[in-house]
Amino acid sequence: MTTTSSRIPGFYRLSLGERFEQVNQRVSLPEAARQHFANTGNLSVQTADSLVENVIGTFNLPLGIATNMVIDNEERLIPMVTEESSVIAAVCNAARQCRSSGGFVTSYSAPVMIAQVQLTQVPNPAFARLRILESIEQIRQICDATDPVLLKHGGGLQDIEVRQIDDMLVVHLLVDVRDAMGANAVNSMAEAVAPSLAEWSGGKAGLRILSNLADRRVARARAIWRIADIAVEGLSGEDVRDGMLSAYRFAALDPYRAATHNKGIMNGVSAIVLATGNDTRAVEAGAHAYAARHGSYSSLSHWECDADGNLCGSLELPMPVGLIGGATRLHPTARYSLDILGVSSAEQLARTIAAVGLAQNFAAMKALATTGIQKGHMALHAKNIAVMAGAEGEEIDAIASALVKGGKVRMDIAEQLLGELRATSERS
Ligand SMILES: CC(C)(COP(=O)([O-])OP(=O)([O-])OC[C@H]1O[C@@H](n2cnc3c(N)ncnc32)[C@H](O)[C@@H]1OP(=O)([O-])[O-])[C@@H](O)C(=O)NCCC(=O)NCCSC(=O)C[C@@](C)(O)CC(=O)[O-]
Ligand SMILES: NC(=O)C1=CN([C@@H]2O[C@H](COP(=O)(O)OP(=O)(O)OC[C@H]3O[C@@H](n4cnc5c(N)ncnc54)[C@H](OP(=O)(O)O)[C@@H]3O)[C@@H](O)[C@H]2O)C=CC1
């Protein structure tokens, strides 16, 4: 199920309740969702206690909705969990500017994860490699027997690879994990098959664990931003495009810049991965390893100019996310996030996340290549500073606006403004 329109102008100016109503009108959430989102303690300590160890409480983070996204001709509202101001606004902003060209087009490889089995002390590794490759049917039987449920859903072992690394052999099990993230599924397979691999190779089984460089499970997104849609005050669309292409070149050539550029992409990616209860560390490890796959660390995204002079962005990255397993089914907010997204497969989720990453990258690069990041980011960060300075209730907006108006978003100034505001209200 997708939403009628993700374009909700001025969504951010609405109250929390009004925003919920706007989302609910579009995606029709279950009745319990209203109460759930109004209550900040929405993960019960009992559920928390079943998720991790030694629980004494829970930790809440803001969940916001990015508007304006069109992905593969479908309007989608995007739930994002982040503690960082301007991240959600940035996605709304980027998505709005590519609606006229149709939004984002996405694709996906397949839900194939890699499990590694390390074999050490193999006397004749080249010979043993072939012996293992010949045994694929036996390997398949062992792996598939460990997870009949996965097999029933159309998943299971797809193929194997055997790599010789120095004096070790490393066997890769390529497993279709369907709608799961798949770590537990493939780890169980690796552990089950390791004794046979050790026997056939004449070596010893070492580690048996998935690889987070999930390069058989990549999600891709591309979009065109038309020149006419990206101009800003004082700069033509061509100027903005050229500034962004120069920013991209910098990220493509310099790992110091690429790390920050990719962090911007992950601002969007991790926020939706977290909102859906998926494993942020697995996705982040995979993304950064993928960014370094050609030998030196570089930009995950690519930016070019098409024949009409428009700005074309594309992004490809590993996306091991699921709708089943981990916290995805256990965390109540994760379930509602999936309702809001309207995705029904891990593939759709992965493709959506790639589109959000590309949107995030566009917004950050555009800000950097034009006004600088601080103007937009600090304007939105002003509320945090106001709260840190001690502002409460209506004081928060008043202090935040005064900070933005004054052009200096600093704690000392916020404290001073708060003192003045309180003194004025005491006098009146
Ligand atoms: C912050 C903006 C969006 C302002 O951008 P703006 O052009 O001043 O905003 P605007 O008032 O013209 O509004 C444009 C649209 O932005 C959205 N928008 C505008 N304000 C809000 C808001 N309060 N809440 C929600 N959405 C908002 C909204 O969609 C709005 O359209 P509308 O729907 O109203 O027709 C822009 O400057 C921007 O996109 N900046 C990028 C911010 C960013 O990337 N933040 C991430 C943190 S910095 C970082 O960690 C990464 C970095 C930067 O280092 C990565 C890198 O180096 O590559
Ligand atoms: N390095 C890493 O990234 C590591 C990550 N992890 C963690 O592993 C967890 C994810 O593992 P994962 O294997 O996804 O979780 P689960 O084992 O919880 O769930 C996957 C299982 O769900 C069952 N299932 C039911 N329906 C489907 C379907 N349609 N598609 C696929 N499977 C289905 C399958 O069989 P069955 O019911 O028989 O189990 C499958 O094995 C996350 O919490 C992650 O943080 C763990 C170790 C390392």
Tell me: the pLDDT tens digits for 148-167? 999 999 999 999 999 999 88
Q: Can you list the pairs that 300-305 forms with residues at least 24 positions away whose Cβ atoms lie under 8 Å?
A: 300/261, 300/262, 300/265, 300/357, 301/248, 301/261, 301/265, 301/357, 301/358, 301/361, 302/248, 302/252, 303/244, 303/245, 303/248, 303/365, 304/245, 305/241, 305/245
Confidence of residue 93 (pLDDT cuts 50, 70, 90): very high
Among the bound ligands, the one closest to the CA of 345: 2
Residue 384 has pLDDT above 90, yes or no: no
Between the CA of 190 and the centroid of ligand 2 the distance, in Å, is 14
Residue nearest to atom 51 of ligand 1 (CA): 264
How large is the average pLDDT for residues 372-389? Answer: 85
**What is the pLDDT at residue 243?**
98
Between the CA of 186 and the centroid of ligand 2 the distance, in Å, is 8
Question: What's the pTM value of the predicted model, to 2 decimals?
Answer: 0.94
CA of 264, closest atom in ligand 1: 55
**What is the pLDDT at residue 377?**
78
How many whole angstroms separate alpha carbon 50 and alpha carbon 44? 10
Residue 41 has pLDDT above 90, yes or no: no
Residue 1 has pLDDT above 60, yes or no: no
Residue nearest to atom 9 of ligand 2 (CA): 326
Cβ–ligand 1 contact at 363 (below 6 Å)? yes
How large is the average pLDDT for residues 195-216? Answer: 98
Cβ–ligand 2 contact at 207 (below 6 Å)? no
Tell me: the pLDDT tens digits for 278-297? 999 999 999 999 999 999 99
Among the bound ligands, the one closest to the CA of 274: 2
CA of 322, closest atom in ligand 2: 14
Cβ–ligand 2 contact at 335 (below 6 Å)? no
Confidence of residue 425 (pLDDT cuts 50, 70, 90): confident
Secondary structure of residue 188 in the 3-state scheme: helix
**What is the pLDDT at residue 2?**
61
How many whole angstroms separate alpha carbon 24 and alpha carbon 21? 5
Per cent of the chain over pLDDT 70 is: 99
**What is the pLDDT at residue 100?**
97
How many whole angstroms separate alpha carbon 375 and alpha carbon 368? 10
Cβ–ligand 2 contact at 230 (below 6 Å)? no
- Residue in 200, 192, 191, 155 with CA at minimum distance from that of residue 174: 155
Tell me: the pLDDT tens digits for 301-357? 999 999 999 999 999 999 999 999 888 888 889 999 999 999 999 999 999 999 999
CATH number of 11-107+220-371: 3.90.770.10
Between the CA of 424 and the centroid of ligand 2 the distance, in Å, is 59
Secondary structure of residue 80 in the 3-state scheme: strand
Cβ–ligand 2 contact at 273 (below 6 Å)? no
If residue 288 lies in a helix (H) or strand (E), which one and from where to where?
helix 280-291
Cβ–ligand 1 contact at 90 (below 6 Å)? yes
How many whole angstroms separate alpha carbon 58 and alpha carbon 49? 9
How large is the average pLDDT for residues 196-201? Answer: 98
Q: Of the spans 224-228, 370-374, 391-395, which averages the highest pLDDT?
A: 224-228
Residue 263 has pLDDT above 60, yes or no: yes
- Residue in 165, 53, 65, 72 with CA at minimum distance from that of residue 120: 165
How many whole angstroms separate alpha carbon 165 and alpha carbon 359? 39
Residue 10 structure tokens: 């001025």
**What is the pLDDT at residue 415?**
94
**Which region among 47-61, 66-80, 120-134, 211-225 has the lowest average model confidence (pLDDT)?**
47-61
**What is the pLDDT at residue 428?**
76
Between the CA of 11 and the centroid of ligand 1 the distance, in Å, is 13
The percent helix, strand, coil of the chain (3-state, each to 5) is 50, 20, 30
Between the CA of 329 and the centroid of ligand 2 the distance, in Å, is 11
Task: Choose the CATH number for 112-210 among 3.40.630.40, 2.60.40.10, 3.40.50.720, 3.30.70.420.
Answer: 3.30.70.420
For residue 218, the tally of other CB atoms under 10 A from its CB is: 21
Among the bound ligands, the one closest to the CA of 334: 2
Among the bound ligands, the one closest to the CA of 88: 1
Cβ–ligand 2 contact at 51 (below 6 Å)? no
Whether complex ipTM tops 0.90 = yes
Residue 39 has pLDDT above 80, yes or no: no
**What is the pLDDT at residue 375?**
79
Residue nearest to atom 3 of ligand 2 (CA): 282
Confidence of residue 76 (pLDDT cuts 50, 70, 90): very high
Residue 86 has pLDDT above 60, yes or no: yes
Between the CA of 323 and the centroid of ligand 2 the distance, in Å, is 9
Per cent of the chain over pLDDT 90 is: 82
| Active site residues per annotation | 84, 263, 279, 377
Cβ–ligand 1 contact at 93 (below 6 Å)? yes
**Structure-token match 């939004």, residue found:** 103
How many whole angstroms separate alpha carbon 75 and alpha carbon 3? 6
Cβ–ligand 1 contact at 333 (below 6 Å)? no
**Structure-token match 């310099």, residue found:** 254
